[in-house]
Structure 1
Amino acid sequence: MPDTKPRPAWLPFAIDYAPLILFFVVYKTVGVFAGTMAFMLAIVAAVLASKILLGRVSPMLWLSAILVVGFGALTIWFHDERFIQIKPTIIYAGLGVLLLGGVALRKPLIKYVLEAGLDGLSDRGWLLLSRNWGLFFITMAVLNEIMRHMLSFDTWLTLKVWALIPLSLAFGASQIPMMTREGLAVAPDKP
């Protein structure tokens, strides 16, 4: 029988972002190649933790793990940090194209990832959410490319961790008014 014990709401976020934060810390203390190795090991640990603690591994975590391990190995093999910098561009661009392609076909692909947590959202709401996140991801891909070409690795990584993660969270929060207008059920306050 599967474990149905409720998990803390922050756990998926921690599993997704802990490897990146570890990468930042190890990079700052030891260097880029040790940080890359730590990132690779941490993302594999995150996949295992997700499977054990959450009972599943999200498609986004799988994709990120494959790219971190692949581009991390290239970074270490060729001794060139540009490979690990390209990974976010590929993820963002891929997700953006996928979501916008789904919108063009009237299939809100984001629904299959988020449906369990967004009760009552209308079909129009799902399409708007897919469109908005698709455009956001394309913008993030372009921004990552601009940053990695114009900034030092140190500045790029610092912004990646301390500016782009909060920007993603803020963008997600900015979608709440649209989702509530489109039928998202808001949980009542608990006594």
Structure 2
Amino acid sequence: MTGKKEINPFLKQVLELGPPLAFFFIYLRLRDDSFLIGGIEYSGFIVATILFVPLMLAAMGVLWFLTGKLSRIQIFTAIMVIFFGGLTAWFNDERFFKMKTTLVYGFFSIMLGIGLLQGKSYLAYVLDEMLPMRHEGWMILTRRLCGCFAVLAAANEFVWRTMSTDLWVKIETFAFPIALMVFLMLQFNLLQGYMDDPDHQ
């Protein structure tokens, strides 16, 4: 913990939310264009995806430099973005990047589900320092979040397979994160009775 440093919360939000927003605006700018690179024609979506990967890595690098740490979720998400962004560019197929969201949410749901089958909350393992809560509260939140991630994974599959790329980009950038944030805010309000009182530690 000695390497952990605090930074301005606004700057932290900019570093975390900046790359997805940058991808959104780059896509809007390039979506009607095509680019010939190395004799291969790439759509604006593919080029936006290729540009998104180094932007996200740069933001994570700055965040790590300033705070001294990255969360396991951030590291996992970065690996998935690099892997599926690479597949998208290599095969010149936007479906790989769209599948990434399903697999990220699906992975989180499966991991939380495995913990629940073991009578554990892997969520508490990740967030316990930031959110002191009794075991019962963590188990309730973990069950609910496990279901939420499963719903988001299924929703992403439905959206990218049945709707336009334009709509998927908008839902991926705004609707899914907002839905998850609202869900978590509701849960924390409902679980106030399970919070530990730091004055009694």
Residue in structure 1 matched with residue 37 of structure 2 by the alignment:
none
- Output the CA distance in 1 between the equivalents of 2:81 and 2:5: 31
- Output the CA distance in 1 between the equivalents of 2:196 and 2:9: 18
Instruction: Give the % identical residues.
Output: 28
Report the Cα offset of residue 5 of structure 1: 5.5
Report the Cα offset of residue 4 of structure 1: 6.4
Residue in structure 2 matched with residue 169 of structure 1 by the alignment:
181
Spell out, residue by residue over 1:127-165, the C-alpha distance to the aligned partner (whole angstroms, 9 max, x if none): 111111111111100000000111111110111112111
2:158 is equivalent to residue 146 of structure 1:
yes
Residue in structure 1 matched with residue 169 of structure 2 by the alignment:
157
Equivalent residues in 2 for 1:1-191 (5 A)? 6-30=6-30, 31-119=44-132, 121-185=133-197
Answer yes or no: is the 8 Å Cα contact 1:22–1:38 preserved in 2.
no
Which residue identity does 2:58 align to in structure 1? A
Structure-2-length-normalised TM-score: 0.85
Answer yes or no: is the 8 Å Cα contact 2:5–2:68 preserved in 1.
no
Report the Cα offset of residue 28 of structure 1: 0.9
> How many residue pairs end up in the alignment?
186
Answer yes or no: is the 8 Å Cα contact 1:148–1:156 preserved in 2.
yes
Segments of structure 1 that go 5 or more residues without pairing to the other structure are: none
Tell which structure's C-alpha radius of gyration is larger: 2
Answer yes or no: is the 8 Å Cα contact 2:108–2:146 preserved in 1.
yes
Spell out, residue by residue over 1:45-78, the C-alpha distance to the aligned partner (whole angstroms, 9 max, x if none): 1321221122111111111111111111111121
Question: Over aligned residue pairs, what C-alpha RMSD do you find?
Answer: 2.1
| 1:63–1:4 Cα change, 3 Å | closer
Answer yes or no: is the 8 Å Cα contact 2:137–2:191 preserved in 1.
yes
Segments of structure 2 that go 5 or more residues without pairing to the other structure are: 31-43
- Output the CA distance in 2 between the equivalents of 1:180 and 1:66: 34
Structure-1-length-normalised TM-score: 0.89
Report the Cα offset of residue 184 of structure 1: 4.6
